[in-house]
Amino acid sequence: MNRWKKQASPASQPNKRPNLAGEGFGGRLGYFFSRALTNIRQNIFVNVVTVGTITLALLIVSLFLLVFVNLENAAENWSERVQVTVYFDRELGSQEQAALRSRIMALPGAARVSYVSRDEALKRFTARLRGQETLLEGVRSDILPTSFEIALKRANRETRGVEAFVASLKAIPGITEMQYGEEWVRRFNTFLNFMRLVGALLGGFLVVAVLFIVSNTIKLTIYSRRDELEVMALVGATRFFIKAPFLIEGVIQGAGGALIAVGLLWGLYEGFLHNAGSFLTFNPATSGLAFLPLEYCGGIAAAGILLGLIGSLTSLKRFITV
**What domains sit in the chain, N to C, each tagged with a CATH number?**
26-77+189-316 (no CATH), 83-179 (3.30.70.3040)
* Proportion of the chain above pLDDT 70, given as a percent: 79
pLDDT score, position 259: 94
pTM of the model: 0.64
179: left (phi over 0), alpha (psi -120 to 50) or beta: beta
The region of weakest confidence among 22-31, 148-157, 181-190, 279-288 is: 279-288
- Average pLDDT on 247-257 reads 87
Higher pLDDT among residues 155 and 61, named by residue: 61
Give 74 or 252, the one with higher predicted confidence.
252
pLDDT digit string, tens, across residues 163-219? 888 888 888 887 878 887 667 767 777 877 887 788 778 777 877 777 777 677 667
- Which residues fall within 8 angstroms of residue 311, CB to CB, at 6 or more apart? 211, 214, 215, 217, 218, 250, 254
At position 36, the amino acid (one-letter code) is A
